Amino acid sequence: MTTEMICAGFGGQGVLTIGKFIAQAAMQEGKNVSWLPSYGPEMRGGTANVSTVVSTEPIASPIVSFPDVLVALNQPSIDKFAPSIRPGGLLIYNTNMCPRGCKREDITKIAVPMNDIASEIGSMIVLNMVATGVVIGKTDIIKYETLEGNLTSFMQEKNPDLLTKNLAAIKRGIEIAKQYT
């Protein structure tokens, strides 16, 4: 069982972190993982993307040509990567920044106003955790508990308020995803 995922958005939206948290948790759950970011000048305020592969088998290529899951935080990411989503695959996108959305009908689409949700929770920087929650709620790529444990040990001492907001964002994402099953 292999899940190939691309997360894409503007630099600063935290797309690399989505991939990293999922890869980290999947590794702890005994899976093989790879995390391959775009890098270079495009990271400075331009678009960023990361390919994450989670598999029960050894991972040959970490390069994802046809993702099972695309997380798109802005419209350019849909334009660039949505055409190559595998038929039957999953697109999770941020409606606040994807005005045109995606026209494909052969995939599952979960449209989430991530900016709105993040600002309701009280911090724009948890936008990416809303997306992460949707991924967890819709796929079985990782368990929520693994991620919660990681975030807790990482943030509880340094920034307990941010931890609370992050977990709230993930849970909101999971709830939204459940509506699509």
Partner 1 sequence: MSKILMKGNEAIAEAAIRSGCRLYFAYPITPQSELIEYMAKMMPKVKGTFIQAESEVAAINMVYGAAGSGKRVMTSSSSPGISLKMEGLSYIAGAELPCVVVNVQRGGPGLGDIQPAQGDYFQATKGGGHGDYRLIVLAPSSVQEFADMASEAFDLADKYRNPVMILADGMLGQMMEPVEFKPAKTDAELQELANQHLSWCICPNEDGAKKHHHEINSLELDPQVLEQHVLGLLKKYAEIQKNEIRYETYNISDENEVLCVAWGTASRVVKSAINEVQKQGKSVGLIRPIRVWPYPYEAIKQVIGKNVKKVYVFELNSGQMVEDVKIAVEGKVPVDFWGKVGGVVFTPAEIKEKLEECF
Residue 24 as a binder of partner 1 (CB under 8 A): the answer is yes
Q: How far apart are CA 28 and CA 141, in angstroms?
A: 12
Query: Measured between alpha carbons, how far is 50 from 72 in angstroms, rounded to an integer?
Result: 11
To partner 1, the closest distance from the beta carbon of 160 in angstroms equals 24
> Which is nearer to partner 1, 34 or 94 (by Cβ)?
34
* 37 counts as binding partner 1 under rule CB under 8 A: yes
Give the nearer residue to partner 1 in terms of CB position, either 62 or 160.
Answer: 62
With CB under 8 A as the contact rule, the residue among 33, 114, 118, 151 that binds partner 1 is 33
Pick 33 or 163: Cβ nearer partner 1: 33
Q: How far apart are CA 139 and CA 9, in angstroms?
A: 21
Contact between 67 and 6 under an 8 Å Cβ cutoff? The reply is: yes
Q: Please, which residue, 27 or 155, has the CB nearer to partner 1?
A: 27
Phi, psi (deg, nearest 5) at residue 179: -65, -15
CB distance 92 to 30 below 8 Å: no
CB of 26 to partner 1, least distance (A): 9
39 is a contact residue toward partner 1 (CB under 8 A):
yes
Query: Are the beta carbons of 95 and 113 closer than 8 angstroms?
Result: yes
Q: How far from 160 is each of 30, 151, 164, CA to CA, in Å?
A: 28, 10, 6
Binding mask 57-96 for partner 1 (x = CB under 8 A): --xxxxx-xx------------------------------
Regarding 145 and contact with partner 1 (CB under 8 A), the answer is: no
Token pair 């990271």 is found at 43
Query: Can you give the binding site for partner 1, defined by CB under 8 A?
Result: 20, 23-24, 27, 32-37, 39-40, 59-63, 65-66
